[in-house]
């Protein structure tokens, strides 16, 4: 007997059951069974014969509990609180003492003479940077940015990079450094020493801030929400100062701290293009919504854009219609075929209803909105490894797409269904491990408690009737009617799994990259959702439009071999290890290179509302770095 453990912190991975208001409980049960792979309803009232090896029990009939059924909460968003800068304690800089008063002047003598002039100087920096400054200069008591009585070439290189931070989507204001005047009087050496030692410390602090921001981002993603899960990117700031002290060109080192991948370069190029471009001639309210027969002043703008950008075939068929409705705010019925044709050209579901996705496809987003999305995408990319790998899987929940790159080339791209706003797909990266054919579905605790338990409290035979197995802590399979489901609250000490088969929620296969969120890619019996433009309907896992093709691609085998593995062994579960090292990025980018459009940046809706939260976090970081800091 195989014991399947619960995923305590994970999100569930099946379709959200959308129950229409006012639906009866029987209707709700039928819909749940349809979506989650329940058994044949025609036989639902038949007597259940206990399976061999299963502990039988008489049905337990209970009254409805007075207290509401327990619930397991999904991860939450946090109030972002950036770490406040701390005062740099220069008294901690203690260079090694000279062995003898008669020793000749050593390298760093000028620094040692100037060091006492830091007394009373207030410089604020992030805690790690403050510690790195005192640590580095205690071990290396010499100027890094000063030669003689002037800022040196190394300082000029660094200052130039800091001044160009905006080209990488950073803020130049975060790295501002005042440069000592080139002119000074030799009878004011003491004052010059004070000016130079303070310039030295400010520039080191701001350069280290730049290194840290470029390397891992300004925002700690894990402080945004429970959906964000990123390892700390290692960075030795003391070592960074050492590298720059030895570098022939500091600019090269600083530029290398940014992500070194094609997606980052594409987003940077898009940012530069957007900033140089003029605003679009016609700007449409992105929240515009209008149905046939309705009226909206933004509708006339959409018609103008369709006429301006339409291809020859579209204008040949609908040109006269467009002219006859020019400047009209009324969405007349005869315009529905035109809107449907336009939607189809943009890869949208041709339903004739104009909403935010249709507006975004036809009119695009404003220049300011696109710049903001690119800036947020650049920040998010800094949370990932700099080199994301030539062979990789990228799941972008915001675009509902997954791409598989094999040795640098796009091998596969397909639609996905991702978590709903209430059961969001998390944001992290991992490594693919196995493909499982004909999988069991181990019911996550969140679904068991939040959705199945209320049914079990009314009918303890629910799981037995609908193709689920219940396993106790000893590994023995028991009948669901043998369990007093109401006595455990949310701490149910049983594992529940759905048997392989046509109705299984995971379909024919799943692709695993074990993580604490219990998220993976898988097949589904619910194929119709892939035809929708907005595809956020799961409990967090990622459903694939063509799972056999993805399994074949990551295993590097023919699709026919995948089909044979599914059919082998009478539909029993089997596994196959993925032999290659393939990182998987479960990501969220509302601006992202479209792999099927030669890397052109595509813009997507913010289905989880994460853009606004990240924007607020960045503003809070900027506040802590105000000039007074």
Q: What is the pLDDT of residue 97?
A: 62
- Give the Cα separation of 4 and 7 in Å (integer): 9
φ, ψ of residue 417 to 5 degrees: the values are -115, 130
Q: What is the pLDDT of residue 59?
A: 47
- Least confident span in 100-104, 226-230, 372-376, 407-411: 100-104
- Least confident span in 44-58, 104-118, 141-155, 354-368: 44-58
- Give the Cα separation of 112 and 434 in Å (integer): 60
Closest CA to 531 of 416, 372, 402, 388: 416
Note the pLDDT tens digit of each residue in 82-126. 999 999 999 999 877 654 444 433 457 899 999 999 999 999 999
Task: Report whether pLDDT(56) > 70.
Answer: no
- Least confident span in 217-221, 277-281, 426-430: 277-281
What average pLDDT does the segment 14-24 reach? 36
Question: Which of the pair, 85 or 21, is modelled with greater confidence?
Answer: 85
Task: Report whether pLDDT(505) > 50.
Answer: yes
Q: How confident is the model at residue 490 (pLDDT cuts 50, 70, 90)?
A: confident
- Give the Cα separation of 30 and 518 in Å (integer): 26
Q: What is the pLDDT of residue 344?
A: 87
**Nearby residues of 367 by Cβ (< 8 Å), 6 or more positions away:** 274, 277, 278, 279, 280
Q: What is the pLDDT of residue 186?
A: 74
Question: Which of the pair, 37 or 518, is modelled with greater confidence?
Answer: 518
Q: How confident is the model at residue 71 (pLDDT cuts 50, 70, 90)?
A: confident
Q: What is the pLDDT of residue 16?
A: 37
Note the pLDDT tens digit of each residue in 572-627. 899 999 999 999 999 999 999 999 888 999 999 999 999 999 999 999 999 999 87
- Give the Cα separation of 222 and 592 in Å (integer): 22
Task: Report whether pLDDT(27) > 90.
Answer: no
**pTM of structure:** 0.82
H helices of 50-188, in order, are 109-114, 127-139, 153-163
Q: What is the DSSP string of 215-264?
A: HH-SS-GGGTBTTB--PPPP--HHHHHHHHHH-S-HHHHHHTTS--SHHH
Q: What is the pLDDT of residue 23?
A: 40
Q: What is the pLDDT of residue 319?
A: 92
What average pLDDT does the segment 219-235 reach? 97
Question: In the structure encoding, which two tokens stand for residue 600, read together?
Answer: 């052109």
């Amino acid at each position: 007997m195989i014991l399947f453990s619960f995923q305590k912190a994970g999100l569930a991975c099946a379709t959200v059951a959308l129950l229409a208001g006012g639906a009866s409980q029987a209707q709700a049960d039928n819909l749940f069974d349809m979506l989650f792979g329940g058994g044949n309803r025609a036989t639902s009232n038949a007597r259940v014969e206990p399976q061999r090896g299963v502990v039988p029990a008489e049905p337990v009939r209970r009254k409805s509990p007075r207290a509401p059924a327990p619930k397991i909460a999904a991860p939450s968003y946090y109030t972002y609180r950036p770490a406040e800068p701390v005062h740099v304690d220069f008294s901690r800089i203690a260079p090694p003492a000279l062995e003898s008063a008669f020793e000749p002047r050593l390298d760093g003598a000028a620094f040692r003479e100037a060091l006492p002039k830091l007394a009373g100087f207030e410089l604020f920096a992030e805690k790690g940077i403050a510690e790195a400054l005192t640590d580095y200069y205690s071990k290396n008591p010499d100027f890094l940015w000063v030669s003689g009585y002037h800022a040196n070439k190394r300082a000029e290189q660094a200052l130039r990079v800091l001044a160009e931070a905006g080209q990488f989507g950073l803020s130049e204001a975060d790295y501002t450094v005042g440069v000592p005047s080139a002119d000074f009087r030799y009878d004011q050496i003491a004052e010059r020493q004070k000016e130079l030692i303070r310039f030295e410390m400010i520039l080191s602090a701001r350069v280290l801030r730049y290194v840290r921001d470029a390397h891992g981002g300004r925002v700690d993603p894990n402080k945004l929400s429970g959906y964000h899960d990123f390892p700390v990117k290692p960075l030795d700031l003391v070592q960074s100062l050492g590298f720059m002290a030895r570098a022939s060109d500091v600019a090269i080192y600083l530029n290398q701290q940014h992500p070194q991948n094609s997606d980052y370069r594409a987003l940077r190029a898009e940012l530069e293009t957007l900033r140089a471009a003029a605003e679009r001639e016609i700007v449409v309210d992105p929240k515009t919504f209008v149905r046939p027969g309705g009226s909206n002043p933004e509708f006339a703008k959409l018609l103008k854009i369709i006429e301006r950008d339409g291809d020859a075939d579209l204008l040949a068929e609908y040109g006269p219609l467009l002219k006859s409705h020019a400047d009209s705010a009324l969405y007349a019925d005869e315009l529905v075929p035109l809107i449907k044709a336009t939607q189809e050209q943009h890869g949208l579901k041709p339903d004739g209803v104009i909403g935010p996705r249709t507006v975004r496809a036809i009119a695009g987003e404003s220049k300011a909105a696109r710049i903001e999305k690119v800036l947020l995408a650049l920040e998010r990319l800094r949370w990932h490894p700099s080199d994301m790998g030539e062979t990789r899987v990228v799941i972008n929940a915001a675009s509902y797409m997954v791409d598989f790159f094999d040795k640098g080339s796009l091998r596969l791209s397909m639609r996905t269904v991702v978590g709903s706003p209430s059961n969001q797909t998390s944001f992290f990266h991992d490594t693919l491990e196995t493909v499982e054919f004909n999988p069991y579905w181990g019911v996550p605790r969140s679904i068991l408690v939040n959705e199945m338990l209320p049914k079990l409290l009314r009918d303890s035979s629910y799981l037995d009737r609908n193709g689920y197995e219940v396993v106790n802590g000893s590994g023995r399979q028991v009948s669901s009617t043998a369990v007093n489901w109401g006595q455990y609250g949310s701490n149910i000490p049983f594992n529940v799994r759905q048997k392989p088969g046509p109705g299984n929620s995971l379909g024919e296969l799943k692709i695993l990259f074990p993580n604490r969120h219990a998220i993976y890619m898988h097949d589904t019996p619910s194929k119709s959702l892939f035809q929708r433009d907005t595809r956020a309907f799961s409990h967090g896992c990622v459903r694939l439009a063509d799972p056999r093709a993805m399994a074949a691609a990551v295993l590097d085998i023919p699709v026919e071999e995948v089909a044979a593995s599914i059919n082998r062994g009478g539909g029993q579960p089997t596994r196959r290890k993925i032999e290659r090292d393939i990182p998987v990025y479960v990501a969220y980018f509302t601006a992202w290179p479209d792999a099927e459009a030669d890397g052109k940046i595509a813009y997507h809706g913010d289905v989880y509302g994460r853009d606004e939260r990240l924007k607020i976090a960045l503003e809070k970081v900027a506040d802590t770095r105000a000039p007074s800091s």
